[in-house]
Amino acid sequence: MAKEKKQPRPKAETPRGFRDYFGAEVLERQEMLAKIAETYQRYGFDPLETSAVETVEALGKFLPDTDRPNEGVFAWQEEEDGGWVALRYDMTAPLARVAAQYRNDLPSPYRRYTFGPVWRNEKPGPGRFRQFYQCDADTVGAASVAADAEICAMLSDTLEAVGIPRGDYVVRVNNRKVLDGVLATIGLSSEDEATRQAVLRTIDKFDKVGREGVIQLLTKGRLDESGAYIDGVGLDAAAADQIVAFLLARADSNAETLVMLRKLIGTSAIGEAGVAELETIATLLDAQGYGPDRIVIDPSVVRGLGYYTGPVFEAELTFEILDDKGRPRQFGSVAGGGRYDDLVKRFTGQDVPATGVSIGVDRLLAALRAKGRISGAMQGPVVVTVMDRDRMADYQAMATELRNAGIRAEVYLGNPKNFGNQLKYADKRESPVAVIQGSDEAARGVVQIKDLILGAKIAANASLEEWKAQPAQREVARGDLVAEIRAILERQG
């Protein structure tokens, strides 16, 4: 190579808002995704993996959670034709593109699932990354609410498949049309778009500001915690009460909830259509054995209202965890979705109904960790230490024998001079067993096997007698290496 000019060294840093995943973190996610995929496949969903890059045109202005259209993505211009392309920000926009592009080849309805990273050009913060995993399942081309019900049932099965027991979660179902009906009864038709959007944004704050807060915000306004005055939407008190009554309309049974909703929508046709859809969903789920212990109608579900056109749903984990300040709180939402009948139409001009769900993989993993359902540990390898650099071939042969017997094994490949470093290495690797063979042992045809788990336990707890009675290191015949180590691993469990 040419002599390098002195250049400042590059910083070894992940870019802001991005992160790396190591060892067990990667395996845990893969195992969870494999269980999810198995469930989705059993429901007839096929895998799809789209390109990470889309044209900005195809992505459109549907980015959730941002008021800045066309911002929030990582985009660049193509050299050749100057066209703008960007990393996908979710899995729904690419699905709409695929459904339009391959509409002559795909079965209709088309059920697909997809796993993968999405990218958002947002300001990173604690626990808020600019690349994260999503895991979506959608049905394109089915107008029937049977498709929505199926996704709710599948979501329920999926949560149980990954290790959330029944009773620890609930899938809550609502319908955008019922809300439209309620808004109609208070005189807000689809023409009053600005006010409707203001109402939707306000409802979305229900969890945060509570019943009284929402009523204030829907009417005259409210003094914020920070002391700032937030202008109200300007509805009268009766209208605000009606909306809050809708949000709180969840009763003890789905049937009672439906009765309350029917009252709230009055004579609105769209509202009646929405209630009928919820009723059908409840009936279908009941027939499949998904009762209200798993899936329930709950009008307080308000999510990503931007593009949803019918049923919306959310999976919530109902057990408590401790928050940063040690206070118990519910774990909350790990998945959500709904019906969006207009996305594919952007491309084709034709109506293509669609419904789907997205699981927040990182949140679900956090939940499983909180419940102790995943270990966070990876089985470390047996480490064959190197006492004699010239006999590397013998050590490699031992590791090969172990591997051929299906046992994770490796030879220490650092500088073997300091033997203590080799045992420190085995420790860092969470190795269950170390193998040691010096020239003396080699001459006698034996090896030393050190049970590192037992050794650590003895070092921590045992009396001298126990230590003598149950040595963690012992000598075995070289020919018994594999059998002896297998026995130790079985004993360790």
Task: Say whether residue 55 binds a copy of itself (CB under 8 A).
Answer: yes
Please report how many Cα atoms fall inside a 13 Å half-sphere around the Cα of residue 306, on the Cβ side.
10
Residues 188 to 247 in contact with a copy of itself, rule: CB under 8 A: 193
Q: Which helix (H) or strand (E) holds 114?
A: strand 110-119
State the binding string over 90-119 for a copy of itself (x if CB under 8 A, else -): -------xx-xxx----xxx-x-----x-x
Task: Say whether residue 434 binds a copy of itself (CB under 8 A).
Answer: no
| Closer Cβ to a copy of itself, 230 or 378, answer by number | 378
**Minimum Å distance from CB 216 to a copy of itself?**
27
CA of residue 180 relative to chain centroid, distance: 30
**Minimum Å distance from CB 444 to a copy of itself?**
20
Task: Say whether residue 153 binds a copy of itself (CB under 8 A).
Answer: yes
State the binding string over 389-418 for a copy of itself (x if CB under 8 A, else -): ---xxx-xx--x--x--xxxxxxxxxx---
| Closer Cβ to a copy of itself, 143 or 366, answer by number | 143
**Minimum Å distance from CB 172 to a copy of itself?**
20
Task: Say whether residue 48 binds a copy of itself (CB under 8 A).
Answer: yes
Query: Which SS3 state, helix, strand or coil, does residue 261 take?
Result: helix
Residues sharing a CB contact under 8 Å with residue 438, sequence separation 6 or more, in sequence order: 387, 388
Task: Say whether residue 462 binds a copy of itself (CB under 8 A).
Answer: no
| Closer Cβ to a copy of itself, 225 or 390, answer by number | 390
Stretch near a copy of itself under the rule CB under 8 A, chosen from 50-58, 162-170, 311-319, 469-477:
50-58
Residues 295 to 334 in contact with a copy of itself, rule: CB under 8 A: none
Rounded-to-integer distance, Cα 75 and Cα 65, Å: 18
Rounded-to-integer distance, Cα 29 and Cα 34, Å: 8
Query: Which SS3 state, helix, strand or coil, does residue 51 take?
Result: coil
Rounded-to-integer distance, Cα 99 and Cα 340, Å: 13
**Minimum Å distance from CB 303 to a copy of itself?**
17
First to last CA, the chain: 52
- Could you tell me the two tokens for 176? 């955008």
Rounded-to-integer distance, Cα 291 and Cα 167, Å: 12
Residues 257 to 296 in contact with a copy of itself, rule: CB under 8 A: 283-284, 286-289
| Closer Cβ to a copy of itself, 55 or 448, answer by number | 55
**Minimum Å distance from CB 85 to a copy of itself?**
5
Stretch near a copy of itself under the rule CB under 8 A, chosen from 227-235, 239-247, 294-302, 342-350:
342-350
Using CA atoms, how far residue 67 sits from 61, 71, 72, in Å, is: 10, 9, 9
| Closer Cβ to a copy of itself, 8 or 326, answer by number | 8
CB-based contact 425:412 (threshold 8 Å): yes
| Closer Cβ to a copy of itself, 46 or 236, answer by number | 46
Task: Say whether residue 445 binds a copy of itself (CB under 8 A).
Answer: no
Query: 232-252: string of b/e by CB count within 10 Å (b at 16+)?
Result: bbebeeebbebbbebbebbbe
Q: How many other β-carbons are positioned within 10 Å of the β-carbon of residue 444?
A: 12
Task: Say whether residue 376 binds a copy of itself (CB under 8 A).
Answer: no
Stretch near a copy of itself under the rule CB under 8 A, chosen from 40-48, 225-233, 315-323, 325-333:
40-48
* 109 upstream amide cis, omega within 30 of 0: yes
Length of the chain: 493
